[in-house]
Amino acid sequence: MIILIHGLMLIIIGIWAMLTRKNLIRIIIGFAIVDTGINLVLVAIGYIKGKTAPIINDAVSTAQGAAAGMQAVDKVVDPVPSALVLTAIVIGLAVTALMLAYAIRMHKTGRSLNIDDFEEQKW
């Protein structure tokens, strides 16, 4: 529960930073904070009680089809989400890196890191 609350707080703080800070780098930091918060939330609520680890043994049917799959997840935790959480973390990293790259090139072309200086296209 504490982790969940922390995670949610981080998300809110991050969004607040994204909405109010004017400096591109700070906005990106805000995004990174949101990302961290989300990962914390995933950790906090991704645990399901009363199920075992997804290791294949006699208890788990490996037949194909949705019904057989449902039978399987009655006993073990669904392994796909846990595998994909890792991907999500990597994706967060990639997006942050790309954002920073953009910030550098924006500074090169626009001579500023203030987001208010990039309003030429509107209406």
Summarize as ranges the residues that interact with other proteins (CB under 8 A).
Answer: 11, 15, 18-20, 22, 24, 27, 31, 34-35, 38, 41-42, 45-46, 48, 51, 54, 60, 62-66, 68-70, 72-73, 77-81, 84, 87-88, 91, 94-95, 98-99, 102-103, 105-106, 109-110, 115-116, 118-123
> Measured from the CB of residue 58, what is the shortest distance to other proteins in angstroms?
15
Q: Residue 20: which H helix or E strand, with range?
A: helix 2-20
Q: Is the CB of 5 or the CB of 68 nearer to other proteins? A: 68
Closest CA to 92 of 42, 24, 22: 42
Give CA–CA dist 42/86, Å, rounded: 11
> Measured from the CB of residue 6, what is the shortest distance to other proteins in angstroms?
14
47 CA to centre of own chain: 17
> Could you identify the residue written with the tokens 């990639």?
94
Q: Phi and psi (nearest 5°) for 19?
A: -85, -25
> Measured from the CB of residue 69, what is the shortest distance to other proteins in angstroms?
4
> Measured from the CB of residue 35, what is the shortest distance to other proteins in angstroms?
8
The answer to whether 22 and 116 have CB atoms below 8 angstroms apart is yes
